[in-house]
Structure 1
Amino acid sequence: MSTGTHLTYPHANGFHDGRLVLSRYRTGAGATAIVVREGTGEHLVAEVAPRRDGQVRPVYPDVARHTGRVAWIWDDALYVADEPGCAERVFTPDTLGLVTRGPGLALQDLTSISADGAHVLLMVEHGDQRTCLRFDLATGTTTELFTKPWFANHPHHSPFDESWVAFAHEGPATATPDRVWAWHDGQTRQILDQHEISDLPGQFVAVGHERWLHHDLGAAVIAYGESKAGPRGLYLVYPDRPPRLVARGERHWHCDVSRDGRWAVVDTTGPADRPGRGWQDAGDVSDVLLIAVATGEQVRLARTRAASHPFHPHPVFTPEGDAVLFNHLDADGTISVSRSPVP
């Protein structure tokens, strides 16, 4: 579709009113651009300057589903844009008055904007603590939702019910028995008991790459091939009922679910048809698998390659659910966004 571009993060939204928001990644240039793709044309939202630390990183915008306002984090600052070329820098930790727990405040690279574009979620790092803020774009005020004394990240609204804020306990998956969390009504709670789903007494299932659902209050979660315990594969987990293993998989990696809940998609750590699990004999291969949520049946849509961020397939459904988009990596290292129809 568009050479040199990649999709936003899977739990962010990259769609509005027939438009697709992509990031253009320039290896070694220290800069990137956020591009709105409409039909066969492209419109530049913003050119992102090189970071002060000199690191080359991807940018992962989030789009307000009802208004099209785009929000992203870059170089310790929050930006928003309502129209291409009209980006505004609206927040930095330097202006933060709510959290005053010592020096070294930093803003994580992922944000989540509400469907109406009124506020965004920010995760602020200060020492060993992580604080989640809700930032009101009209008033410039912040509300502290929670603080954790561990590496909390991946904040995103539940698209089914935005009063629920998802977040993760980040860290090595095989050493993290409490990965999936949410905030609701002033309280945080762990959503998945990883010991309870384990087939090995005393062991927990290593999970991650959760993304919350459009059609129900819950999340799709991957149990990784590296997990000593199983069952491994794609789960649906909920705050109000037991989890469900949708499809077994020894190499599942990232996931998405269509907005009607009918289909799921995963990419893989290595060829799905090769023996082994996790990264065993994976090479640089990643398959894109379509899964029927009702039956767990899996079919391969495409085969691509994978390397470090942003060169992960990160498959997502179009809002209509008629196709899967994913980042495709050519043998020469060129990244582009590819499309596979849902049969």
Structure 2
Amino acid sequence: MIVAQGAHLTYPHANGFHDDRVAVVRWDAERSATALVSVSLDDAGDVQEICTVPGPYPNDNTVWFDVARSARRLAAVWDDALHLVDLDDPVAEVVYRGRNLHGLVSINAAGDRVLVAEQEPCRLLEVDVDTGGVRVVHTSSWWSNHAHYCPADEAWIGFSHEGPTETVPDRVWAWHASELPAGGCVLKQPDGLYFGHERWAHHAVGAVVVAYGVSPGEPRGLYWTSPGEPEGRLLSRGDRYWHCDINRDGTLAVVDTSGPADRPGKGWENADNQSDVLLIDLRDGQVTPLARTLAKRHPAHPHPIFTPDSSSVLYNHLAPDGTVSVGRVNL
């Protein structure tokens, strides 16, 4: 079922949900502008505009955003500035202007703090959006991004050592003011396994993360890692897993794939630009196919996510004509 035509979801580790609705990104051809719109999860025909977004965007030719889980605030980066949008009075306000800001942001549940990454030099910043104060959380000589608050305990901040998976042996990092004040890697990657696309969890301090199909080692698939369990624990074996999400109580996971899951090969071998959306029951390991779509560059990655009540999975569906829409599978 398509719930939003010509639109795409925000990044999988960000939140787009509010008031039984989901916020998505839609291209408005009539105005030659990108719009952030809110779609009812009860009625796919109910669409409300949040705001329009002028370019230039920081990367990927789109804009990512994050909605506070307990406040009616949305954060996003465009025009090299961090913007805050009040969903009750949707006027975008600049709360921080930086240099080479990365497009992925994370807003805390209360909506008063936002994580944003500066590049060249690489700095992970936390912005107090009410006072304008800025705290430097972490600096590095390498590209750090994908930063987001751990929903289970927002004192923990997860972020990644980005780069070619084949040459980055310490992808998954975390920071905590007292437990890990200098930041540190929280996944000891075995030789031959290449990890990425970590998503920190709601039910416990830790993250699900994918060992990609391009890895020469085994077992590839979906793993759990945490500051207290940095050795990593295999949750589901798979040779094509790509992006992932975990539901609120930690019983289900969803992944998309780099190629059809039922086709021989690993990674992008024999993939034919197709991707499957798979449901993984973490209690018994059962894997259930939910959907098949095409896969091209951002923002056409499937990026499957659970609705907050775990009743559905949403994903980006790419049609043969190149149109991206938000699809839904009820569980």
TM tier, shorter chain? over 0.9
Cα distance in 2, alignment partners of residues 20 and 235 from structure 1: 28
Aligned: 1:159 with 2:161: no
Task: Deviation per CA, 1:228-275: give whole Å up to 9, x if none.
Answer: 111100001111124210110000000001111111000000000000
Gapped runs of 5+ residues in structure 1?
A: 94-104, 196-202
Task: Deviation per CA, 1:8-31: give whole Å up to 9, x if none.
Answer: 00000111221211111469x974
Aligned: 1:115 with 2:109: yes
Cα distance in 2, alignment partners of residues 144 and 25 from structure 1: 34
Aligned: 1:330 with 2:322: no
Cα distance in 1, alignment partners of residues 250 and 227 from structure 2: 17
Aligned: 1:178 with 2:170: yes
> For the structure 1 residues 121 and 270, does the alpha-carbon distance in structure 2 shift closer, same or farther, using more than 3 Å as the test?
same
Aligned: 1:214 with 2:213: no
> For the structure 1 residues 30 and 123, does the alpha-carbon distance in structure 2 shift closer, same or farther, using more than 3 Å as the test?
farther
Task: Deviation per CA, 1:254-301: give whole Å up to 9, x if none.
Answer: 000111111100000000000000000101110000001122211100
> For the structure 1 residues 263 and 56, does the alpha-carbon distance in structure 2 shift closer, same or farther, using more than 3 Å as the test?
closer
Aligned to 1:74: 78
Report the 3-state secondary structure (helix = DSSP H, G, I; strand = E; otherwise coil) of the residue aligned with 1:174.
helix
Aligned to 1:11: 13
Q: 2:57 touches 2:103 (CA, 8 Å); kept in 1?
A: no
Q: CA deviation at 1:122?
A: 1.1
Q: 1:305 touches 1:328 (CA, 8 Å); kept in 2?
A: yes
Aligned: 1:192 with 2:187: yes
User: Identity percentage over the alignment?
Assistant: 47
Q: CA deviation at 1:85?
A: 3.2
Q: 2:63 touches 2:77 (CA, 8 Å); kept in 1?
A: yes
**Structure 1 moving runs of 4+ over 4 Å:** none
Aligned to 1:267: 256
Q: CA deviation at 1:204?
A: 3.5
What code does the residue aligned with 1:335 have?
V
Which among 126, 136, 140 is matched to residue 144 of structure 1? Answer: 136
Cα distance in 1, alignment partners of residues 122 and 283 from structure 2: 38
Aligned to 2:23: 21
Cα distance in 2, alignment partners of residues 233 and 37 from structure 1: 33
What code does the residue aligned with 2:103 have?
D
Aligned: 1:301 with 2:290: yes
Cα distance in 2, alignment partners of residues 151 and 263 from structure 1: 31
What code does the residue aligned with 2:309 have?
E
Gapped runs of 5+ residues in structure 2?
A: none
Cα distance in 2, alignment partners of residues 255 and 228 from structure 1: 20
Q: 1:25 touches 1:58 (CA, 8 Å); kept in 2?
A: no
Cα distance in 1, alignment partners of residues 236 and 60 from structure 2: 36
Q: CA deviation at 1:152?
A: 0.6
Aligned residues: 320
Higher fraction of strand: 2
Cα distance in 1, alignment partners of residues 206 and 55 from structure 2: 37
